[in-house]
Amino acid sequence: MPGYAALIVAGGTGSRMGGQTPKQYLHVAGKPVIVRAVESFRRHPEIEAVHVVIGKDHRAAYDAAVAGLDLAPPVFGGATRQESVRNGLDALAARAPDGVLIHDAARPLVSSGLISSVVKALQAGADAALPLLPVSDSLKHRDSSMRLRSVPRDNLFRAQTPQGFKFARIREAHAKFTSEPVTDDIALAELAGLHIAGVPGEEMNMKITTASDLEFAERLLSGATEIRTGFGFDVHRFVPGDHVWLCGVRISHERGLEGHSDADAGLHALCDAIFGAIGAGDIGQHFPPNDERWHAAPSRNFLAYAGELMREHGGELVNCDVTLICEAPRIGPHRERMRETIAEILAVDVGRVSVKATTTEGLGFTGRNEGLAAQAVANIRMPRS
């Protein structure tokens, strides 16, 4: 199966953190560290599957942390990180992705842009891709007698994850060099002679190792982002037909809705709410009604585009709420499928999606069954400008 998969390595015990709970299950800004790492990849449009490698004794903690997320069963790690990654690659073998991004669960602040940079390097022909940060501090070496000497920092870099690989090549390297102890997967790529591309790393993509790291990440998340709110509203008139599309669900009805696309007022309103929150205009600017490319187009494509644009702006959907205003059809029987459809299109947990319905008590054009309306609100976490 083509495409890209993510392998989140979360088997460590986090002994340097102290305490009884491994660091990947501690909370930062209201979420477990591991969940923040996983969600970054689940939201990314290039990542088609996310697998997590966990410690054999961590299943209960893992299940509690990721409750509500639609994930494949976890893979159990081994005695070393190298063995844990190899187990994860074996679990991905049936899917056979074009590439795999291997990421430390202890890096919860990985951005969509960094994931894209790694994927693009692989798409450009590299066998492997590595985020790098130049060393900016002065370096000192202390010998056994406690004497210090300066170490030149020229051409020295800090390596980060996600480290990306052509799937078949990194799996071959893991199989060939099982007896070679390495600190990361790029080291195996070096041993195998693979073509490795460096991409710019990000200071925000810090690794949580100590309690002070966790505190710093908390400050970064609370101070570096803000919640922005967007509103959307849409109306369509009833015309002869036998069904309507609402919130991505086809509903049999005695009439249809008039529109250039499929006239899904719920998804149109939600698109405008997302565009509004990220300051990207409205649906008419992105999908003009006089453009024949969008004639009879499914509105789920519009919402998928809005979600992708949100991520390109660095946004993360906190929640969205759609209200459908009509006398008919009845929305209740379809509400949960609507929520699930929106969550699937936007690649978010269904708990972040609300769909409601109301009437206007027989008043106005909706009360006279001349058409229906929809309004939507979207709250999006964005980088603070």
Distances (CA, A) of 267 to 46, 140, 255, 293, 376: 23, 58, 19, 18, 9
Residue 50 · residue 74 · CB < 8 Å: no
CA dihedral 217, 225, 309, 344 (to 10 degrees): 60
**Cα 328 to chain center, whole Å?**
36
Q: Using the 8-state DSSP alphabet, how is residue 20 labeled?
A: S
Phi, psi of 273 (to 5 degrees): -65, -40
Q: Which two tokens stand for residue 69?
A: 């997320």
Beta carbons of 32 and 218 less than 8 angstroms apart: no
pLDDT in tens, 325-379: 999 999 999 999 999 999 999 988 888 999 999 999 999 999 999 999 999 999 9
385 residues of the chain, pLDDT tens digit each: 579 999 999 988 766 666 678 899 998 887 899 999 999 999 898 999 999 999 999 999 999 999 888 899 999 999 999 999 999 999 999 999 999 999 999 999 998 889 999 999 999 999 999 999 988 888 888 888 889 989 888 888 999 999 999 999 999 999 999 988 898 999 999 999 999 999 999 988 999 999 899 988 888 777 667 899 999 999 999 999 999 999 999 999 999 999 999 999 999 999 999 999 999 999 999 999 888 998 989 999 999 999 989 988 878 899 999 999 999 999 999 999 999 999 999 988 888 999 999 999 999 999 999 999 999 999 998 877 6
Residue the block writes with tokens 């991905």: 92
Q: Is 356 helix (H, G, I), strand (E, B) or coil?
A: strand
pLDDT at 16: 63
Continuous segment of H or E residues that includes residue 350: none
Q: Could you tell me which residues come within 8 angstroms of residue 179 by beta carbon, excluding any fewer than 6 positions away?
A: none
Instruction: Please give the pLDDT value at position 226.
Output: 84
Beta-ladder partners of 225: 383
